[in-house]
Chain A
Amino acid sequence: MKHFFTLLSHEIRMLLVTPATYVAATLFLGFMGLIFSQILEEYSARAQEISPAIVYFQLFWLPACVMVPLLTMKCLAEERRLGTIETLLTTPVTTTEVVLSKFGAAYLLYVSLWGSTYGFFYLLRRFSGDARYLDSGPLVGGFLFIALSGLFFVAIGVFASSVTSSQSVAGILSCVMLAVLLIGGNAVAGSNWLDQGILQSVKSAVDYSHVFGHRDDFTRGVIDIRHVLFYLTGTILALIFSILSVEAKLLHS
């Protein structure tokens, strides 16, 4: 891992000079700002039972499905399309370092963008002059969930980029995989047909990987180690598959 930080700083710089990054950032901050202003309007109209932070994180899946593909679709697909992966891998760097640096850069940007939305709550507290508006429990839980789930989502994006040399295919693939994990998992978990005895093991697997359920637990302040393990193992597996995918493409190129 001697060259990891050289590659990581290069990747961060490359992300910062790519228009797609700014498109993703603008869309994301615009969308989250809109959600936040809607929440404020609702809360100012009538009293609500739950913290605004909980409501704020409920729609996390939409920016995740759009922003993660925008941040990751280019990382390995473009290297392969341009052929720069060849010049990169003929220097003393390993495929693991290359994949991890691309993952690290995309993840840092993803987390930074989410982190910047803390400013909404800070402004609310500052201008309302009431500490209750900044309900720290759900807020910390929510950001922790974003940081943890982001590892897995970004790893899925990197994996999608590793299997093709087309950025658009990588983007669509990443979006579909995230949608299946987030929305598909939620739809299956909510259906009754899994309650039959024979499908109990499937139901327990679906419940275990129910991302919306994890979000609710985190924003309630419940940090279940099984959830943490789910995201960490998912991240590690997606990254291992990304490394294998890059190396398999080399073997068959």
Chain B
Amino acid sequence: MPEAAPAIEVTRLVKTYGGVTAVSDISFHVARGEIIGFLGPNGAGKSTTMRILTGYLPATSGSVRICGVPVATQPDEIKRCIGYMPENNPLPEEMRVSEYMYFRGRLKEIPRRKLGPRIDEVLEICDLKRVRHKIIGQLSKGYRQRVGIAEAILAEPPVIIMDEPTIGLDPHQILIVRDLIASLRGRMTVIISSHILPEIEMTCDRVLIINQGRVVAQGTPAALRREIFGHSTYVLEAAGDLTAALAPALAEVDPTLQVTAEGEPDAGGVRRVTLTTNREDELGEALLRSLVRREVRVRSLSRTHPTLEDVFLAATKRSWDAVQKPAR
């Protein structure tokens, strides 16, 4: 297994079934030790891509390499390199948690003498020790999700693929899973899909957004904000002679700073003004000084950050527009 190769390399991957293209020519790389969030609307092709990465489904064309090993020609080797938690986390209902972990550990070729201590370790990490002797079918959704996660990390594979691992978890459990995934950073490469976008933003180093089987955006959340929105936004609430004072104050701080929306004054004469700039650095303090010098009474000034949700919606909308344009 080449040490220098990226953990995951996907090149021009295409998957069609029954004439429907589920994944259309997607390419991306994931470095070793990186945690990447895989986002997309329902039916975008996330689960199909993940299944191809695991070697479970064959690709129609394109190539996928895990740790430098091609999935198409060496699927058995790939299965030793990955821990996979599928969508909906299917588990055998009749087995006890510890029995299931032992069975999976044996299938994943963990030596018998190491398996017991390793099972204890993952049960501890995933807070499952209390339910280790319980039957899986009797566990709550949160525990079942954690059994799936524990199983995925059991053999300490270099690549972990999890399809919606936090679905159905309460905030406390989400926090545990987030910390768990964060603890894998640098040691294992993790690719997770989720619809809980703040979760992805907090956990992942990089985000990959796909829509209609195509990659529509990829990069760090900050880079995606820059790429998609291209500007920073400030919201100012102030009273005074804004018409006269605002334009020179903005020009003094940054020539690209401009008013994009202006509200009506409230009972105290305070207006809400939205400002945008192409600059990424913080302009708040300079702007505040400039406004105060011009005797503008400032009630508040804040910089608004588009959330990952905004980025996701904008990126997917952009891809819909791109698809619909040629039809018009």
Contacts and interface: CB of A to CB of B under 8 A. Distances in A.
Interface stretch (A58-66, A83-91, A231-239): A83-91
Nearest to B17: A252
Contacts of B93: 82
Given A87-B84, A252-B17, A93 B90 contact: no
A209 to B, nearest CB: 37
A200 interface: no
Given A252-B17, A253-B57, A86 B86 contact: yes
Q: Which of the four size classes fits the interface of chain B?
A: 20 to 34
Given A6-B103, A251-B58, A84 B90 contact: yes
Interface in A164-201: none
Contact of B92 (A6, A14, A89): A14
Contact of B55 (A84, A90, A252): A90
Given A3-B107, A10-B103, A252-B18, A89 B56 contact: yes
A91 B104 contact: yes
A17 B94 contact: yes
Contacts of B17: 252-253
A18 interface: yes
B79 A90 contact: yes
A6 B107 contact: yes
B82 interface: yes
A87 B108 contact: no
A89 B79 CA distance: 9
A6 B106 contact: yes
Nearest to B54: A90
A86 B90 contact: yes
Given A3-B107, A92-B80, A250 B94 contact: no
Interface residues of A, number: 25
Contacts of A14: 92, 94-95
B76 A83 contact: no
B56 A92 contact: no
Interface in A1-59: 2-3, 6-7, 10, 13-14, 17-18
A83 B104 contact: no
Contact of B94 (A7, A18, A92, A252): A18
Contacts of B57: 250-251, 253
With a 10 A CB-CB cut-off, give which of B86, B107, B151 has the most chain A CB atoms: B107
Nearest to B106: A6
A94 B79 CA distance: 11
Given A6-B107, A10-B103, A252-B17, A90 B56 contact: yes
A102 B51 CA distance: 24
Most B Cβ at <10 Å: residue of A6, A13, A91, A252: A91
A186 B86 CA distance: 48
Contacts of A86: 51, 56, 86, 90
Interface string B67-106: 0000000001001101010101011111100010001101
A86 B50 CA distance: 12
A10 B103 CA distance: 7
B309 interface: no
Contacts of B310: none
Contact of A92 (B76, B84, B90, B103): B76
A10 B51 CA distance: 25
A92 B108 contact: yes
A253 B48 CA distance: 10
A177 B80 CA distance: 39
A187 to B, nearest CB: 40
B90 A87 contact: yes
Closest 4 CB pairs of A and B: A83-B90, A91-B107, A92-B79, A90-B54
Given A84-B90, A92-B107, 16 more contacts: A2-B109, A3-B106, A6-B107, A17-B94, A18-B94, A83-B88, A83-B90, A87-B91, A90-B56, A91-B79, A91-B104, A91-B108, A92-B76, A92-B79, A92-B80, A250-B57
29 contacts: A3-B106, A3-B107, A6-B107, A7-B107, A14-B94, A14-B95, A18-B94, A83-B90, A86-B86, A86-B90, A87-B84, A87-B86, A87-B151, A89-B56, A90-B82, A91-B79, A91-B107, A91-B108, A92-B80, A92-B107, A93-B107, A94-B76, A250-B56, A250-B57, A251-B57, A251-B58, A252-B17, A252-B18, A253-B57
Interface of B: 17-18, 51, 54-58, 76, 79-80, 82, 84, 86, 88, 90-95, 99, 103-104, 106-109, 151
Interface of A: 2-3, 6-7, 10, 13-14, 17-18, 82-84, 86-94, 250-253
